[in-house]
Structure 1
Amino acid sequence: MAWAVLLVLLPPAARAVDDRHVLVLGRISDDPAAHYDQLKALLDYVVPRMREVGITEGRVLMARDAQQMASYLRRGRVDWVTETTSTAVQLQQRAGARLLLLTERSGVSRYHTVFFTRRDSPVRRIEDLRGRTVAMQSTASTSAYMVPMITLLEAGLEPEILLGPDERPSPGRIGYLFARSELNISVWVQKGLVDAGVFSNLDWEDPQRTPPALRADLRIIHQTPEYPRALELVRADLRPEVENRLREVLLQAADDPEAREALRLFFGTSRFLPVDARLEQALDGLRAGVARVRAEVE
């Protein structure tokens, strides 16, 4: 039998009862065509190994944002979602999605955010950023938006969005703006367009995102605790036998040579890991922080 994996780009109608044989993998994306092959490869591997629980077909469904994906999960349009941590937490809060597994990418399952300034800056700690400006990536980023925003709030700072580097925040507040890419964040800080930047320690160590010539002029002033790099979720009412078998297949994939290329294409995944107490504790703190950002900033 041929194992079919279909791309769905348009909002679908209510899911038919006879679709119980279909496993739908979802992701939030502003470029569905680019992400499709990355998702399809793993579905092509997973679906044939799900036949014993009635799964014989796979589909990919993209959403434009967390709100739309939460709607798909609540309506049963998506069964399984792969997302960054802060977005995963929002899907748990908005749609009751259940945590399935921790995702390790390129051998890294957890990372942290760094705040950095120019080496000659008078800023030595994040509290010194009051009245100054910080470059972030976008609201979709865990490491370069959500975690830094939580950190600023916990430090007693009041974030204020700015339209561009030429603007200054109101007295006593901290201005933030979006540079759209990690490289832009590094460049803006190095050139003095902003007082500080934020992104992950992996981006700090990546020469494509923080070139050595730039990093020589920069200095880390704060590092956050670690948090999960990415998570796999399932919808709240997914059949238990499907959820359990999907977990088994993904956990075993790293030891299966047939899965090697599919995992590589799946955003550089090296393996999937079970949920443990350390992960749950990290997510509890992040859930509270995400709720605070949504209430006080967004």
Structure 2
Amino acid sequence: MAQSTSKALPAPVSEGGHVLVLGRISDDPRAHYEQLRPLLDYVVPRMRDVGITEGRVLMARDPQQMAIYLRSGRVDWVTETAGTGMQLQRRSGAKPLLLTERNGVSRYRSLFIVRRGSGIHTLADLVGRSVAFQSTSSTSAYLVPAMTLLQAGLRPELMLSPRESVNRGKVGYLFARSELNISTWVAKGMVDAGAVSDLDWNDDRRMPASFRNQLEVIHRTAEYPRALEMVRADLPAPVEARLRQVLLEASREPEGQQALRRFFGTTRFLEVDAPTRQALEQLSAGAAQVRDALE
């Protein structure tokens, strides 16, 4: 789904034009457009000195389609989770521009949760048991937990139903589709364990207090970036540099702060420092391991 402020679509940056294209992988383009457009409208007027005079939003249905858009130059800038950002880097050569802080949080971690008194105390105790993930698109509730199991020497195996028996020596996993379902399935004993972010663990909408009181955390992963702003590999250097500057300065201006709040609750953008790059490298390597072993 593409949106523009004009009926005729002028050429994007990749074609020598003056349109900056912001992309998003979306299953709800209308809602996401309303979140993306205010920041784009803030950014574009501040990039006239590098030839940008218009902005456009382009949605993709999945990472594969977005990677095509990035490789072909149809999208210049993408906002995504760290896990999906690393997928786009691998598929298209896109590179991290900035770290995104949302609601005051720029980094988070994944937690493995079980019912109290279950007898499960470590990751090794999950052998022969079942674990609920969210979906393959989730960084905190699939990618990081799956790579954590693999790096612990465990052997995850897909299950078709919570009622299915786990094969000997394996860790069964299945997809619950939402964080609330994960907490429900674990609390009600439909699965033995679940994987959620530490943010979701403390969110009553996704982890009701009545469930949390029945559960405990048996493993916490290392922290990793919550979200990233990515740019295509061949974005002209002056455009990339100016975009970075405008985004970094946005949180210092009232108009920018308002646009950031609409932008998925963003509070500010941060430079990608050495610890962040190291975490992203580890995430990228883990994602490759998950892809080879499970997908």
For the 8 Å contact 2:96–2:230, the answer to whether it is kept is yes
Count residues in correspondence. 290
Matching of residue 197 in structure 1 with residue 194 in structure 2: yes
Match of 1:155 among 147, 152, 156: 152
In the aligned structure 2, how far is the partner of 1:107 from the partner of 1:20? 36
Q: After the TM superposition, which of the residue ranges 59-68 and 17-26 deviates more from structure 2?
A: 17-26
Change (3 A) 1:286 1:238: same
Residue identity opposite 1:6 in structure 2? S
For the 8 Å contact 1:81–1:234, the answer to whether it is kept is yes
TM-score of the aligned structures, taking structure 1 as reference length: 0.94
Change (3 A) 1:244 1:17: closer
Match of 2:232 among 227, 230, 235: 235
In the aligned structure 2, how far is the partner of 1:118 from the partner of 1:19? 58
Residue matched to 2:93: 96
In the aligned structure 1, how far is the partner of 2:62 from the partner of 2:178? 18
Match of 2:163 among 154, 166, 172: 166
Residue matched to 2:82: 85
In the aligned structure 2, how far is the partner of 1:94 from the partner of 1:16? 21
In the aligned structure 1, how far is the partner of 2:14 from the partner of 2:168? 58
Residue identity opposite 2:262 in structure 1? L
In the aligned structure 1, how far is the partner of 2:195 from the partner of 2:244? 34
Q: Sequence identity of aligned pairs in percent?
A: 64
RMSD of Structure 2 on Structure 1 (CA): 1.6
Q: What is the CA-CA distance between 1:180 and the residue it aligns to?
A: 0.8
Residue matched to 1:42: 39
Matching of residue 273 in structure 1 with residue 270 in structure 2: yes
Residues 121-178 of structure 1 show CA distances to partners (whole Å, capped at 9, x for unaligned) of: 1110111001110011000000000000000001111111111211122111111111
Structure 1: runs of 5+ lacking an equivalent: none
Match of 1:175 among 156, 172, 178: 172
In the aligned structure 1, how far is the partner of 2:4 from the partner of 2:150? 43
Residue matched to 2:132: 135
In the aligned structure 2, how far is the partner of 1:213 from the partner of 1:147? 26
In the aligned structure 2, how far is the partner of 1:18 from the partner of 1:96? 19
Residue matched to 1:111: 108
Residue matched to 2:4: 6
In the aligned structure 2, how far is the partner of 1:206 from the partner of 1:27? 25
For the 8 Å contact 1:7–1:60, the answer to whether it is kept is no
In the aligned structure 2, how far is the partner of 1:64 from the partner of 1:101? 23
In the aligned structure 2, how far is the partner of 1:193 from the partner of 1:253? 46
For the 8 Å contact 1:7–1:36, the answer to whether it is kept is no
Q: What is the CA-CA distance between 1:7 and the residue it aligns to?
A: 8.3
In the aligned structure 1, how far is the partner of 2:48 from the partner of 2:248? 17
In the aligned structure 2, how far is the partner of 1:48 from the partner of 1:184? 43
Q: What is the CA-CA distance between 1:99 and the residue it aligns to?
A: 1.1
